[in-house]
Amino acid sequence: MSTAWVVLFLAAALAAACGAEAALVEHTFVVSQIEMHHMCNDSLVTLVNGQFPGPTIEVTEGDSVVVHVINKSPLGVTIHWHGVKQHNNCWADGPAMITQCPIQPNKNFTYRFNVIGQEGTLWWHAHVGFLRATIHGALIIRPRLGPNSYPFPKPDWEVPIVIGEWFDMDLFELYEKTENRIYGDIPLSPTINGLLGDFNNCSGVTEDSYKLDVVQGKTYLLRIVNAAIDKAYNLKIAGHKFTVVAADANYVKPYPRKKKKNYVKPYTTDIIAIASGETFDALVIADAPPGRYYMVAQAVQTTEPITQKRVLMSRGIVSYNPMKWSGDDTLAIMAPELPDWHDERPSFYFHGNLTSLLPQTVPSNIDEHMFMALRSGDNCLYAGSPHCKVTMINNISFQHPSAMPLLQAHYNNNMRNISSLIEFPRAPPMVNFTQTPTLTATMVKNLRYNSTVEIVLQGPPGEMSYSNPMHLHGHDFFILAQGIGYYDAEKDVPKYNLVNPSVKNTAHVPMYGWTVIRFVASNPGVWFFHCHTEHHSSSGMAMAFVVEDGPTVETTLSPPPTDYPSCDGHNSIVEYV
């Protein structure tokens, strides 16, 4: 072989070993309003490219993504790339008035970001008011070395399962009500991949069900997203089990250790308990007798004495070897056994069982010990309405800034001009924190670059409890422990998993309980941290971290993009023109 051939050969071998070259994945998202008909009602909904759920973005790890958002709707819009770490790219993160002004009607903005060091399923959604109810979609990240490099048996098919919620009311109205601390509205029905399912009917018309055709013996990788506005869901398929392989685009260990270092059977579960904002990748083998099986997503709801609503359920159908049935829909469908719709225990155990696939290096020098009491109250101090509700962290209810996004103010060294700004309180005023907010303010916590933060997230432990999925932008964190009741350092620190904790962007804080997370603030910028229950987030259960620049160019916040949207006097979060 001549030298040239050797070089060529080596280059080809190297390319094969390294997988595909990083690519540019480009999408255009046209946001507009479209009339949709469900349950005897026409509603005007705001969608991306007329789709519900919106388009799936598929990338290979290392790719660059460019999304041109063209706003043809009468509302201000932003898009957040939920779970994408956005290293040194905070301008593209998307939460309204945190990193950017909403894109005004008839205006455009192009989001540009790289997907690096993450594999699995994430998603994207509008991050303004309640628009994400209908503006969302999956973001799938495949390994650079191809499907043979999955740390689990290669699936035969991959299927996104996006759980959403259908409201039969105007989402702007819903948002305004929440802003005014009036809530209690629940969706009409959950959806699986946009369909309400045959559990729902109106005047004898049954809603369409999501249908998954399977071939016996084949393995399916379900990429499950909870894109719902509020609720946590239990997902089950009659007669089938799941092997969970990833959570929030981080691989988890499906093989529990039995005795010493013996990985026996994969850990299977018959339930996926998924809170709003979470994503799970799970393998399902079509190993049941041929037939038709319900796939059910049922909302987990709060217990008495909180007002009881009704069962919220969407049913899809898993159908075997559809050719053989030749459309025979009369065959009985097997239904899964469901936990009580108030029972949060399956979710507690499901989340407690998650560990990361590989051992993790958990930093042990904590620079910032934080405690966050997550509460809601029915105090009407700020709304003057007898029905108002407010949510808070450490007795302070978050208020979005109105004049300028926090990130812009931070970049321009202008934070002190945000009159509502306060430093996040170190701890709640008392252990048995009250139900009354002491303040409505834009609370931020300043963090030195690369500082290690540990947060105890304490949910309401008493009666009237509910779970809170707390989501951090721009970083993943380790989930060290969870428990029921009040967190007690003396008892609970020894229970921390410092070996292989799961790595996530959304922490499920259980009903009546607490969760501890730890992360390194390695990404300069302003990063929103909030409950992913939109009613909570919009009524105050939120705060923002301001991560300072590091010592190098790569660790310094870059300048804003040239087409960075301006508020143009439209300083409310969502508004009609």
Piece of the chain touching ligand C2O by CB under 6 A; list 12-20, 316-324, 525-533, 569-577: 525-533
Piece of the chain touching ligand C2O by CB under 6 A; list 105-113, 423-431, 439-447, 526-534: 526-534
Cα–Cα dist 566/562, whole Å: 11
Longest distance between any two alpha carbons in the chain, whole Å: 86
Tell the smallest beta-carbon distance from residue 277 to ligand C2O (Å). 5
160 or 336: CB nearest ligand C2O: 160
**What is the torsion angle, in degrees rounded to the nearest 10, for the CA atoms of residue 95, residue 100, residue 106 and residue 107?**
-130
**CA angle centred on 114, ends 112 and 120, rounded to 5°:** 125
Q: Structure tokens of 336?
A: 């899964």
Per-residue mark of binding to ligand C2O, 44-83 (x: CB under 6 A): ------------------------------------x-x-
Cα–Cα dist 533/470, whole Å: 9
Tell the smallest beta-carbon distance from residue 95 to ligand C2O (Å). 5
142 or 532: CB nearest ligand C2O: 532
Is there binding between residue 536 and ligand C2O (CB under 6 A)? no
**CA angle centred on 232, ends 227 and 248, rounded to 5°:** 55
Is there binding between residue 95 and ligand C2O (CB under 6 A)? yes
Tell the smallest beta-carbon distance from residue 541 to ligand C2O (Å). 12
Q: Give the rounded distance of the alpha carbon of 377 from its chain centre.
A: 25
Q: Which DSSP letter does residue 217 get?
A: T
Tell the smallest beta-carbon distance from residue 7 to ligand C2O (Å). 47
What is the enclosing helix (H) or strand (E) of 408? helix 406-411
Q: Which DSSP letter does residue 558 get?
A: P
315 or 535: CB nearest ligand C2O: 535
Tell the smallest beta-carbon distance from residue 253 to ligand C2O (Å). 25
Is there binding between residue 102 and ligand C2O (CB under 6 A)? no
471 or 508: CB nearest ligand C2O: 471
Applying CB under 6 A, among 528, 536, 557, 573 the residue interacting with ligand C2O is: 528
Q: Which of residues 471-500 bind ligand C2O (CB under 6 A)?
A: 471, 473
Cα–Cα dist 143/62, whole Å: 9
Say which residue the tokens 């002491």 belong to. Answer: 438
Binding-site size, ligand C2O (CB under 6 A)? 11
SS3 content of the chain, % helix, strand, coil (to 5): 10, 40, 50
375 or 532: CB nearest ligand C2O: 532
**What is the torsion angle, in degrees rounded to the nearest 10, for the CA atoms of residue 240, residue 246, residue 251 and residue 253?**
-40
Q: Which residues contact 213 (CB under 8 A, 6 or more apart)?
A: 319, 320, 322
Tell the smallest beta-carbon distance from residue 315 to ligand C2O (Å). 26
Q: Which of 422, 421, 410, 426 is nearest to 368 (CA)?
A: 426
Applying CB under 6 A, among 27, 127, 240, 400 the residue interacting with ligand C2O is: 127
Q: Give the rounded distance of the alpha carbon of 498 from its chain centre.
A: 24
Tell the smallest beta-carbon distance from residue 201 to ligand C2O (Å). 31
Q: What values do phi and psi take at 425, rounded to 5?
A: -70, 140
- Side-chain-side CA neighbours of 210 within 13 Å: the count stands at 25
Please give the sequence-ordered ranges of beta strands (E in DSSP) within 129-264, or none if there are none.
136-142, 157-166, 189-192, 201-202, 205-206, 211-214, 219-226, 232-237, 242-247, 250-251, 257-258, 262-263
Applying CB under 6 A, among 27, 38, 125, 292 the residue interacting with ligand C2O is: 125
Piece of the chain touching ligand C2O by CB under 6 A; list 3-11, 44-52, 440-448, 524-532: 524-532
314 or 537: CB nearest ligand C2O: 537
Tell the smallest beta-carbon distance from residue 102 to ligand C2O (Å). 14
62 or 277: CB nearest ligand C2O: 277
109 or 123: CB nearest ligand C2O: 123
Applying CB under 6 A, among 53, 62, 160, 277 the residue interacting with ligand C2O is: 277
80 or 410: CB nearest ligand C2O: 80
Tell the smallest beta-carbon distance from residue 227 to ligand C2O (Å). 9
- By CB atoms closer than 10 A (0-12, 13-18, 19+), residue 5 is exposed
Tell the smallest beta-carbon distance from residue 84 to ligand C2O (Å). 11
Per-residue mark of binding to ligand C2O, 424-463 (x: CB under 6 A): ----------------------------------------
93 or 454: CB nearest ligand C2O: 93
Closest-approach residue to ligand C2O (CB)? 82
31 or 212: CB nearest ligand C2O: 31
Q: Which of residues 286-305 bind ligand C2O (CB under 6 A)?
A: none
469 or 483: CB nearest ligand C2O: 469
Is there binding between residue 160 and ligand C2O (CB under 6 A)? no
Piece of the chain touching ligand C2O by CB under 6 A; list 382-390, 407-415, 517-525, 527-535: 527-535
**What is the torsion angle, in degrees rounded to the nearest 10, for the CA atoms of residue 557, residue 559, residue 561 and residue 562?**
180
Is there binding between residue 532 and ligand C2O (CB under 6 A)? yes
Cα–Cα dist 375/144, whole Å: 42
87 or 536: CB nearest ligand C2O: 536
471 or 475: CB nearest ligand C2O: 471
Please give the sequence-ordered ranges of beta strands (E in DSSP) within 485-560, or none if there are none.
502-504, 506-509, 513-520, 525-531, 542-547
Say which residue the tokens 């008493």 belong to. Answer: 462
Contact by Cβ (8 Å): 197, 163: no
Q: Structure tokens of 541?
A: 């259960």
61 or 278: CB nearest ligand C2O: 278
Q: Where does this chain bind ligand C2O (CB under 6 A)? A: 80, 82, 95, 125, 127, 277, 471, 473, 528, 530, 532
